[in-house]
Amino acid sequence: MGRRAGLPESWCSCLIVVAAVWAATNVNVAPAGASVLPTIGVNYGMQASHPLNPDIVVKMFKDNGIKKVKLFDADSWTVGAFAGTGIEVMVGIPNNQLEGLAKDYSRAEDWVKENVTKQMYKGGVDIKYVAVGNEAFLTSYKGKFDKLTLPAMQNVKKALDKAGFGGKIKVTTPLNADVYESKNNKPSEGDFREDIKGIMKPLLKFLRDNKSPFVVNVYPFLSLYQIKGFPTDYAFFDSNHGKSIQDNNINYKNVFDANVDTLVWALKKNGASDLKITIGEVGWPTDGDFFANPTLARRFYSGLLKKLASNEGTPLRPGPMVVYLFGMVDEDMKSIDPGKFERHWGIFRYDGKPKFPMDLSGNGNEKMLVGAKGVQYLPKQWCALKEDAPIAGNTADAQGYACLMGDCTSLVYGGSCNNLDQRDNVSYAFNMYFQMADQDVAACNFNGLGEIVKTNLSQGNCLFPIYIDSAADQRLPFGFGAAILAALVLPILMLS
């Protein structure tokens, strides 16, 4: 079907959406979350200096009717919080555990005993998947996990079988879309990366033998961020007049479809056409880059959710599609190596407040998600650059230090706090550091340049946050203890 024939089809899906909206406005007495798409899950990571209490987050899942969650580890507090909720859980195994699990079967048995069996009592947690490793074949890992991933999966599978969960819990491994490529961007030219083809074949066989899904993370945002001249509209789902890619008789109007269908071709070429595809991560960040803001995030999600509600799937894989959004809340301790936006993927802020309207039924209604309840904040105080402190070399050093240890990702070009003047800019850095350090008085010293203030320094869209009182922050390996602080302030003194 060519461009012309493509038109009536898109009219068709519009009509379905219109009908769905009409239906929704007529059933607004339904309980909250009742119409949420059953195929939608959300990733829930905890790389935050002040993570919300898991019980609060689980309540957010329930209040919003989200029925699936994907986790990055098997932390018992977090997993346990999903007990009795009926929410389907994918637990994760971080890459740093792959080697142990691959080389020592008894470790896999221990892992299953502690992290699955203990949670699977009657009325307990509904664990449906174990994600062994996370994006383990990223090129940036330089092959480190290539030979460990499948053996680890096999051992975990064997241990699950032995524990009696063989039929119920599927083993898979979420991969980044960089495992496949297409030389000319046409899906039909797609295949797995040459360097991992040898390991992909047995992995695909494992997934097929066990009826496990192929889990892939697809990021239209990254196409826009990484590829110079990438047509903006092609990253979204509403670009009926923008860029498209013609492949055989299919016209691709968005990079998401083209990306997933590239995988479909790669699977086909490697004898695994029948594998189910699950989208392990997809989303749009709201800060830390020119293209990362609530307006574009809202546009992306609105298009994605309508698409999912229509069950149109992709041209080569029509039908319902299981999709885990990335992610639940912002995580201020994530590495910013991939980009400064990395800490702003949440559909909720760090404190569980929704960022923009989002309708998880895909009906396109203008409504906010239900935010976190019962969040306790630290006292209403901020750290700022002293009014009489001059802007000088030592100010820059102090800010540099605050940014290195804290979080200045909102100060970048295109970020929500990019318009601050120089003094407020320094105060922003000081405050982030101070808040992340639990408002420790010593964390607002900065060699006498900082002071604690009671005035809200937020301006426009730029939020100077007050952090939350988090019961979990003690558990982070990275502490802002006074000793660490003193040690790191020293270099600043020496520089000035």
CB-CB neighbours of 23 under 10 Å: 12
Token look-up 């053996």 returns: 151
Binds ligand NAG by CB under 6 A, chosen from 422, 441, 488, 495: 422
Distance CA 288, CA 343 (A): 8
Q: How far is the CB of 406 from ligand NAG (least distance, A)?
A: 11
Q: Is 229 left (phi over 0), alpha (psi -120 to 50) or beta?
A: left
Q: Which of 319, 327, 321, 492 is nearest to 402 (CA)?
A: 492
Distance CA 172, CA 90 (A): 10
Concerning whether 135 is annotated as a catalytic residue, the answer is yes
Determine the interface stretch with ligand NAG among 41-49, 73-81, 180-188, 195-203 (rule: CB under 6 A).
Answer: 73-81
> What is the per-residue binding string for ligand NAG in 389-408, x denoting contact by CB under 6 A?
----------x---x----x
> What is the per-residue binding string for ligand NAG in 100-139, x denoting contact by CB under 6 A?
----------xx--xx------------------------
Nearer to ligand NAG, 203 or 403 (CB): 403
Distance CA 43, CA 70 (A): 5
Q: How far is the CB of 479 from ligand NAG (least distance, A)?
A: 18
Q: How far is the CB of 405 from ligand NAG (least distance, A)?
A: 13
Nearer to ligand NAG, 55 or 114 (CB): 114
Which H or E run contains 230? Answer: none
Inter-residue contact 161 to 199 (CB < 8 Å): no
> What is the per-residue binding string for ligand NAG in 194-233, x denoting contact by CB under 6 A?
----------------------------------------
Q: How far is the CB of 141 from ligand NAG (least distance, A)?
A: 19
Establish if 350 lies at the interface with ligand NAG (CB under 6 A): no
Establish if 156 lies at the interface with ligand NAG (CB under 6 A): no
Selected catalytic residue, list 88, 135, 342, 451? 135
Nearer to ligand NAG, 16 or 463 (CB): 463
Establish if 74 lies at the interface with ligand NAG (CB under 6 A): yes
Nearer to ligand NAG, 73 or 99 (CB): 73
Nearer to ligand NAG, 296 or 385 (CB): 385
Binds ligand NAG by CB under 6 A, chosen from 95, 278, 314, 425: 425
Binds ligand NAG by CB under 6 A, chosen from 87, 383, 411, 485: 411
Inter-residue contact 115 to 76 (CB < 8 Å): yes
Q: Which of 63, 55, 79, 40 is nearest to 354 (CA)?
A: 63
Distance CA 135, CA 460 (A): 37
Determine the interface stretch with ligand NAG among 55-63, 70-78, 138-146, 359-367 (rule: CB under 6 A).
Answer: 70-78
Inter-residue contact 79 to 125 (CB < 8 Å): yes
Inter-residue contact 431 to 309 (CB < 8 Å): no
Which H or E run contains 69? Answer: strand 68-71
Nearer to ligand NAG, 111 or 430 (CB): 111
Using CA atoms, how far residue 354 sits from 105, 224, 328, 370, 373, in Å, is 43, 24, 10, 7, 12
Residue nearest to ligand NAG (CB): 73
**Dihedral sign of CA atoms 126, 129, 132, 136 in order:** negative
Nearer to ligand NAG, 383 or 408 (CB): 408
> What is the per-residue binding string for ligand NAG in 449-468, x denoting contact by CB under 6 A?
-------x-x----x--x--
Number of residues that bind ligand NAG (CB under 6 A): 18
Concerning whether 312 is annotated as a catalytic residue, the answer is no
Question: Using only C-alpha atoms, what is the Rg of the chain?
Answer: 24
From edge to edge, which strands make up the β-sheet containing 175-176?
170-172, 126-132, 88-93, 68-71, 40-44, 322-325, 277-282, 214-217, 175-176
Q: How far is the CB of 167 from ligand NAG (least distance, A)?
A: 22
**Residues near 485 by beta carbon (within 8 Å), at least 6 away in sequence:** 437, 440, 442, 443
Amino acid at the residue 233? D
In the numeric block, which tokens belong to residue 205? 């066989």
Q: How far is the CB of 94 from ligand NAG (least distance, A)?
A: 6
What are the start-end ranges of the E strands in 253-351?
277-282, 322-325
Nearer to ligand NAG, 314 or 409 (CB): 409
Distance CA 111, CA 108 (A): 5
Establish if 73 lies at the interface with ligand NAG (CB under 6 A): yes
Helix pair angle (393-405, 422-436), 10° resolution = 40
Q: How far is the CB of 429 from ligand NAG (least distance, A)?
A: 6
Nearer to ligand NAG, 20 or 403 (CB): 403
337: DSSP letter:
S
Q: How far is the CB of 261 from ligand NAG (least distance, A)?
A: 34
- Catalytically annotated residues: 135, 281
Residues in contact with ligand NAG by the rule CB under 6 A: 73-75, 110-111, 114-115, 380, 399, 403, 408, 411, 422, 425, 456, 458, 463, 466
